[in-house]
Amino acid sequence: MEKEELISLYFEGKLTEAEKKTFQHLLETDIEFAEDVRYQENVKKAIKLNKRKQLKATLQSFETEKKTTTHFAKWAAAASVAMILVSSYWYLTQLPDSNALYSSYYQTYPNVIAPTIRSETKNDLQSQAFYAYDNGNYKKSAVIFSEIYATEKEEYAIFYAALSLMESNKHKEAIKLFDSINTHKESRFSYYVQWYKALCYLKLNNTTAATKILKQLSSEKNPQQETAQRLLKELD
């Protein structure tokens, strides 16, 4: 069994007793395997944290609206709901909307490389790049990550540079950077590069290219397999 498949089954809670022993043995004896497991754990934790922050912000906005809503606003809200229901019915009877699907599936990839860095006063480029990225200054982070990659050839740098371009709505440029990354299976970013490149094509309304990548992701065990399968169904 491939190590990547073993890790995927671990996070899905589907390991057999024999596979659990193999997993534990690799965790104790294979440094790269252990690092990959820790990395994917950090990704999942960071994504959960991002979702909680987004949910909290949404609930707070709902609470603010609730306090300031007038009698007229309540009627307007009811009318809006009716309009949404009509619009939803129309949407569901039409062909998939690439932009809508993109918005539904896209999520900012978290900083899992240097998550404790929060101060721009640090002089090293990595600190400055992630400070800019974490604070939504994607134009600046794209420049610094590109500079890091040009001088140090660090794989994470070109990956985050491409992500920064996506956040800046520069999807064509992002695809070019993703294409320059060697997506070998040993790379920690391999499947995420494919996923985000598929989303870039989706945003550009190139569903053919997006579908091709999503089929590849759906065909083997990896962290994005189930999500890719769901998106494929919506594109059918």
Asked if pLDDT for residue 71 goes beyond 70, the answer is: no
What is the DSSP code string of 37-102? HHHHHHHHHHHHHHHHHHHHHHHHHHHHHHHH--HHHHHHHHHHHHHHHHHHHHHHTS---HHHHH
Portion of the chain with pLDDT greater than 90, in percent: 44
| C-beta separation of 23 from 56 below 8 A | no
**Quick one: tokens of 69?**
């809503």
Portion of the chain with pLDDT greater than 70, in percent: 70
| C-beta separation of 12 from 226 below 8 A | no
Residue 40 C-alpha from the chain's centroid: 12
**pLDDT category, 53, cuts 50, 70, 90?**
low
Asked if pLDDT for residue 82 goes beyond 50, the answer is: no
Cβ-based neighbour number of residue 80 at 10 Å:
11
pLDDT, greater one: 13 or 101: 101
- DSSP class of residue 189 equals T
**pLDDT category, 87, cuts 50, 70, 90?**
very low
Side chain identity at 166, as an amino acid letter? M
Instruction: Walk me through the domains of the chain, giving residue ranges and CATH numbers.
Output: 3-94 (no CATH), 101-235 (1.25.40.10)
Q: Across residues 193-212, what is the average pLDDT?
A: 96
Q: Across residues 21-41, what is the average pLDDT?
A: 82
Tell me how many degrees the CA angle 163-102-175 measures, rounded to the nearest 5. 40
Cβ-based neighbour number of residue 150 at 10 Å:
11
Question: Would the pTM count as exceeding 0.85?
Answer: no
Q: Which of 206, 204, 207, 230 is nearest to 217 (CA)?
A: 230
Cβ-based neighbour number of residue 175 at 10 Å:
21
Q: Across residues 192-202, what is the average pLDDT?
A: 96
pLDDT of residue 84: 46
pLDDT of residue 90: 40
Q: Across residues 206-225, what is the average pLDDT?
A: 94
pLDDT of residue 54: 54
